[in-house]
Amino acid sequence: MPLTGVLRPGHCAIRVMEMGPALTHYVERLGMLKVGEDAQGRVYLKAWDEHDAFSVVLREADAPGLDYLGFKVASTQDLDRLEAALRAHGCAVERIPAGELKGCGHRVRFQIPTGHQIELYAEKDYVGTLTGNHNPHPWPEGLKGMKVCRFDHCLLYGPNLADTADLFMNVLGFSLSERVVTPDQQMVGAFFTCSNKAHDIAFIEHPEPGRLHHASFLLNTWEEVLHAADLMSMHDISIDIGPTRHGITRGRTIYFFDPSGNRNEVFCGDYTWYPDRPPITWETEQLGRAIFYHDRKLNENFLGVVT
């Protein structure tokens, strides 16, 4: 896991149907910070422990879902190298100029076989965290709601998972940390990491392209997950499932919906990934335990509702 190439998820651009309720949800309830907006009406958010200028971009639209997911790379040299590799792989690549997103350098956007738009960038304005870097306290006072620490990952649904896995592993340099396979060993779920987290992006095979299952935000402890659950009940936020534990990634989690119907997750805990570790394999016969380790039962709403 050298600190070159793709480093981590950097931002997700989410479509919402009404900006007012969306801001109440993401700022007052999740506890993100509103850091700006632009002439297009897009609103920029970051979590308190994120150093870069933003990690979530909200855009008002007629339907919910994901516009694109961005990953930060280590340098402009890495960005140029990966752009050339994507073009050689046959991807249609678009260069988006610096400043199209406020505070972000030029981006390289491409469509992956699942139908999602992914982009890479090397530069984004550094603004620091609320605790600073000099004799910092462990957390800042005055945080709201669930007090999420960072945007962590997305789970995406779409077709052509095998081709997508090839792209992420052999072009972008991700590792496969976990997979779900059918009895004939066809991979129908894949979890990829570009760091030492259990996953930085995940996919489920699905006939409709370009679908968002959830955008996930990190908390520090199980107690904070339970506190988030209390807030969801207190403010009548629609809960999908949890609090519970995953078998896949070992995360302790709760899922819920924003006012537009986009699914969110807050979670804590996983394991440390190193590149010499073989991927974990889950069989579809054990999918109930893999997804919801405690009750070991599949939830059709959780599996089927996407935006």
Q: Are strands 211-218 and 150-158 parallel, antiparallel or unpaired?
A: antiparallel
In the residue annotation, 265 being an active-site residue is answered as yes
- Annotated catalytic residue: which of 11, 25, 199, 213? 199
Q: Whose CA is closest to 68, among 14, 106, 122? A: 14
Residue 25 token pair: 């949800």
- Annotated catalytic residue: which of 153, 157, 178, 205? 153
CA distance 173 to 188: 20
Strand-pairing partners, residue 124, are: 104
In the residue annotation, 246 being an active-site residue is answered as yes
CA distance 224 to 6: 30
- Annotated catalytic residue: which of 68, 121, 157, 255? 255
In the residue annotation, 227 being an active-site residue is answered as no
In the residue annotation, 25 being an active-site residue is answered as no
- Annotated catalytic residue: which of 68, 119, 214, 224? 214
CA angle 250, 254, 257 (to 5 degrees): 135
In the residue annotation, 134 being an active-site residue is answered as no
Exposure string of 133-164, with b = 16+ CB inside 10 Å and e = fewer, is eeeeeeeeeeeebbbbbbbbbbbbbbbbbeeb
CA distance 186 to 293: 23
In the residue annotation, 255 being an active-site residue is answered as yes
The catalytic residue positions are 153, 199, 214, 246, 255, 265
